[in-house]
Amino acid sequence: MSEKPWGGRFEEELDAVALRFSASVDVDKRLYAQDIRGSIAHVRMLAARGIVTREEAEAIERGLLDVKAEIEAGRFEWRDDREDVHMNVESALTEAIGPVGGKLHTARSRNDQVATDMRLWTRDAIDATVGRLDRLVGVLLIRASGTVSVLMPGYTHLQRAQPIRLAHHLLAWVEGLERDRSRLLDARERLNESPLGSAALASTTFPLDRAQTARELGFRRPMRNSIDATADRDFLLEVLSALSIAAVHLSRIAEELVLWSSQEFGFVEMSDAFTTGSSIMPQKKNPDMAELVRGKTGRVIGDLVTLLVTLKGLPLAYNRDLQEDKPPVFDAFDTVDDCLDVLTGAIATASFREEKMRAALREGFLDATEVADWLAAHGIPFREAHHVAGRLVGRAVAEGKVLSDFTLDELREEHPAFDESIFAALDMETAVERRNLPGGPARAQVEAAIREIRGELEARGVDLDALSKETGARPVVRVTKEPA
């Protein structure tokens, strides 16, 4: 009978179906680097406290590094009968260095071990995702810096509403991504506490130095309660919530790229590298990558729901259900990271069509608000001004005109306050420039926002010149001209 990781209590081998059902190594082997890192910190602390000898600790550490090298070289044999990453690593260690390898697990449980591994892995994953967010923000900044002069319609209810700058719209995407970044870093701060030393649920009788292992692993401090340390996964819920919100932001960006690349809008042409054709219609150029970003958002939200449902009925402390925390977390990070990479490339290489955006400004009465604001600025109560502008729009629709087609006499038929200066107010560039408040689309405000975001990115170590070369993003508008 083979030796079992759970000790001598059991006489029968685990049923083959039960073994397959319960084995998690195919999923959690992804934690090998964090598992070995935590084990090295643990055994160093055991030696410092005199629980194992220095020689034993050094042998164990060398053996763990050898196991890590075997894994990274692709020579390691992952075995389902050893259940998980922890027992695979420990068993391979013992095979390599002998019985002394068994001392590694002194004063430790797989419960605090896996909780530590997941916090280490999630911390690393957040750092990688934040880096990807910075790249996407950097590409958006590069594109925004070259589109300050490009005017386009802003929309509400998917109806043309008011003129804005394309750069202002791109920077709106940036703001959501910046909050996503902040949420992930906030979650990182809260999860950065060490469960190690909590053992199964009630700590241990060995005189551990939990502060030492916490410091070595980069944690702020040991967790205060051993039951909570092994039983809760709210740190993963918080991270999955942040990832879900990020995925929603990416989906909304993707949706606008899909709309803008349609012939009905024609505001952008996606590069061949991020589009596909049709198996039957040779003229098609489909924004499939943006559509997939939009579609994959459901997976990330589903990952959050999966973990919420897994945790909602669990008593304290550890339960085997917690084995199911890893698939949704791994999937959510993988999916969001892929979406970030795809959108970074797609936006970097997209061609914005300035003439299409300007043409769209001529329809939809985007200057109606300018009429109302002009009247209000000339002493007319805004509600009355709003009605006057609405009557002018209705008249223009009936007569097949735009507002700037009306003569001054025709405008005065609706209200006597109009004078020649109203026509300057109807100019789209003027309309945008009049909105010269912080957060507004006027050139000075957009350029100030670009400078501020550039400074923040540079402070984070983002090299915008290198990013531009790597992704093909350029600070200029690449206009696709309409055929004459």
CA–CA distance, 370 with 410 (Å, rounded to integer): 17
The active-site residue, picked from 157, 226, 241, 351, is 157
Q: How many CA atoms lie within 13 A of 87 on its CB side?
A: 17
Residue 42: active-site member: no
Find the distance separating the first CA and the last CA of the chain, reported in whole Å.
Answer: 84
For the record, the structure tokens of 201 come out as: 């649920």
Distances, alpha carbon 377 to alpha carbons 409, 418, 421, in Å? 20, 11, 12
The one-letter amino acid at 60: I
- Residue pair 137/178 in contact (Cβ under 8 Å)? The answer is yes
Question: Rounded to 5 degrees, what are φ and ψ at 235?
Answer: -65, -35
The active-site residue, picked from 262, 278, 404, 421, is 278
CA–CA distance, 287 with 294 (Å, rounded to integer): 11
CA–CA distance, 205 with 213 (Å, rounded to integer): 17
Question: Rounded to 5 degrees, what are φ and ψ at 266?
Answer: 70, 25
Residue 386: active-site member: no
Residue 72 gets the label, from left (phi > 0), alpha (psi -120 to 50) or beta, of alpha
Residues with catalytic function = 157, 278
